Amino acid sequence: MLDTIKIAETPEGVELKLTCVSFYARSIAWLLDALIQGAIIILFLFILSGLGDFGMGLLFIIMFFLQWLYPVFFEIYFQGQTPGKKTMKIQVLLIDGTMVNWGASLLRNLMRTVDFLPFFYALGVTTMLMSKDFRRLGDLVANTIVVYKRELKSTTIVQQKGNSFNNSVDSDTGIAAHISEIVLTGKEQQTIISYAERLNDFSPERAEELALLARPLMNDLKVRQVNPASERLLSIARYLMGHR
């Protein structure tokens, strides 16, 4: 089956074009994570083997946390990406395209027990292949989806426009310093990034009109309204995307 495109609409009414990940890419990511977990277990086995029964007890506790909390930790704190998913450039999101939260991540990973039935993820694989969005049972229950992570390219509008005013905007307003002091929700970050990625689709007037909706946010960040609001909002998007 080929990867498919899914259009997701955020609660703010922003449409995101998501590329769903097929069974093959997800399997490779899972295998890489399993190898990492296995390497960690072997390392602790050598470290704790000299402690007898106490060491073995600690090892079982570590194995328990690796099994259940390893994926949750990375999905929450690393934008839906475990090391395996990061290697494959894929990530877990909520079905509306926003960042996965604690409840959804815990639920989808606890459901791996059911996905494993009757042996070696047979039910999960079957569900995934029957779903047009390649969602396993855990994804269906937790309302999540695995998609390819959107990457910036040098030809995108974010790069093209960002290079032209980066020095004049970021250096005189200290945007980076202010963003680091204010916690933006996952939905806010996704909305700002989506705006920047779709800027080519808007007329200058429409881009400015949409950017003005974020004026309260820019006021909180102390971004002066000297340049067009669209450029100021784009500078925030560039920061969120790692162009610092």
Amino acid at 110: L
Q: Where are the domains of the chain?
A: 5-148, 157-240
For 13-28, the pLDDT digits (tens) are: 566 678 899 888 999 9
Query: Tokens standing for 32?
Result: 């890489």
Whole-prediction pTM: 0.63
Note whether 95 and 144 are within 8 A (CB).
yes
- Max CA separation in the chain (angstroms): 71
pLDDT in tens, 172-218: 345 555 555 556 777 778 788 888 887 776 777 778 888 888 777 77
Q: 3-class DSSP state for residue 120?
A: coil
Per DSSP, helices labelled H in the chain are 23-48, 52-77, 83-88, 102-110, 112-115, 122-130, 137-142, 157-173, 175-181, 186-197, 204-212, 215-220, 229-240
CB 105 within 8 Å of CB 134: no
Q: pLDDT tens-digit profile of 60-76?
A: 999 999 988 999 999 99
Q: Which residues pair with 5 in a beta bridge?
A: 19
Overall average pLDDT of the 105-125 stretch? 89
